[in-house]
């Protein structure tokens, strides 16, 4: 496997407070990587730096061999970096299909109109199939259940054709059935994408995570399998509160 994302010696200082402190973080192409850590560990800040929302104080982020220094958020989206937020971004008055169509329209704007339309339709179909939302395509997003809405957001991300997906707590607030379905969805997406997931739910991690990175006080505490990470006394102390 080759590295799709390489974060080197990254730090960010907010008003003298080091939220990210010398982080090295590499994710290979095709990985499904989970990022965990207690509140305030720096997980969201790390994702914000990768997507260009926050500028690092020092360090580099390299995506597919190219430095992202100076690249703005929309340029990173075009390069293939997509994210979901904890707050919903779906348009409630539009249907599932229209939301996906809109999201897909953001990809490859330089195509001719005709090719672009074909590309959009193909991207929407792929997103509907991957997320299993085809039956709900004509429904307004505003009537979806919490789980369905989360899957729509993931579908909107897929429709943009990213190579790297960054998902912030995708199973928060979900029922156990919805969690299981989301786990299957992430596993399926990771077959042809690289995925980084911020998640707290240990049971979910145990079932679906292979590689886990633990952040604590802005630093990488440990990386490894779920079992390795859980067995580490430092993780038990800072993360599991034991
Ligand atoms: P996590 O996602 O792991 O809960 P965050 O990345 O949100 O952690 O936050 C890491 C630390 O950085 C926290 O102490 C938070 O208060 C601080 N922080 C995050 N963003 C800012 C900001 N824009 N200005 C000042 N402090 C911030």
pLDDT at 228: 93
Residue 69's pLDDT is 94
* pLDDT lower than 70: segments of the chain: 1, 85-88, 107-116, 239-242
Specify if 163 maps to a domain: no
DSSP structural state of residue 80: T
DSSP 241: -
What span, in angstroms and rounded, lies between the C-alpha atoms of 71 and 52? 7
> What beta strand segments (E) does 81-237 contain?
81-83, 164-168, 194-198, 211-216, 219-224
ipTM at complex level: 0.96
75 CA from centroid of ligand 1 (Å) = 24
Range of the domain at 19: 1-75+199-242
Q: Is residue 5 part of a domain?
A: yes
- CATH number of the domain bearing residue 224: 3.40.50.300
pLDDT tens sequence across 128-167: 999 999 999 999 999 999 999 999 999 999 998 899 999 9
Q: From the CB of 42, is ligand 1 less than 6 Å away?
A: yes
Pocket test of ligand 1: the residue of 21, 36, 40 to mutate, having most ligand atoms within 8 Å of its CB, is 40
Asked if 167 contacts 89 with a C-beta cutoff of 8 angstroms, the reply is: no
Q: Is residue 144 within 8 Å of residue 174, measured between CB atoms? A: no
Domains identified in the chain, total number: 1
Residue among 36, 8, 12 at smallest CA distance from 23:
8
DSSP E strand boundaries for 125-178: 164-168
Does the residue 108 lie in any domain? no
The string of pLDDT tens digits covering residues 77-106 is 889 999 886 566 899 999 999 999 988 887
């Amino acid at each position: 496997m080759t590295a799709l994302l390489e974060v080197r010696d990254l730090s960010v200082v907010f008003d003298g407070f080091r939220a990210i402190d010398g982080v090295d973080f590499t994710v290979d192409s095709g990985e499904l990587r989970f990022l965990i850590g207690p509140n305030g560990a720096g997980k969201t800040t790390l994702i914000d730096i990768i997507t260009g929302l926050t500028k690092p104080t020092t360090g580099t982020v390299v995506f597919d061999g190219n430095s992202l220094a100076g690249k703005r958020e929309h340029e990173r989206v075009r390069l293939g970096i997509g994210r979901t937020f904890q707050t919903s971004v779906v348009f409630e008055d539009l249907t599932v299909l229209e939301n996906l169509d809109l999201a897909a329209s953001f990809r490859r704007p330089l195509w001719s109109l005709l090719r672009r339309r074909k590309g959009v339709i193909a991207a929407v179909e792929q997103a509907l199939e991957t997320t299993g939302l085809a039956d709900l395509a004509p429904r307004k997003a505003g009537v979806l259940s919490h789980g369905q809405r989360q899957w729509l957001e993931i579908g909107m991300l897929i429709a943009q054709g990213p190579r790297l997906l960054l998902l912030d707590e995708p199973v928060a607030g979900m029922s156990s059935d919805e969690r299981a379905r989301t786990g299957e969805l992430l596993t399926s997406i990771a077959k042809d994408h690289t995925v980084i997931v911020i998640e707290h739910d240990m049971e979910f991690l145990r079932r679906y995570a292979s590689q886990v990175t633990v952040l604590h006080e802005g630093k990488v505490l440990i990386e490894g399998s779920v079992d390795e990470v859980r067995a580490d006394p430092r993780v038990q102390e800072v993360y599991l509160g034991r």
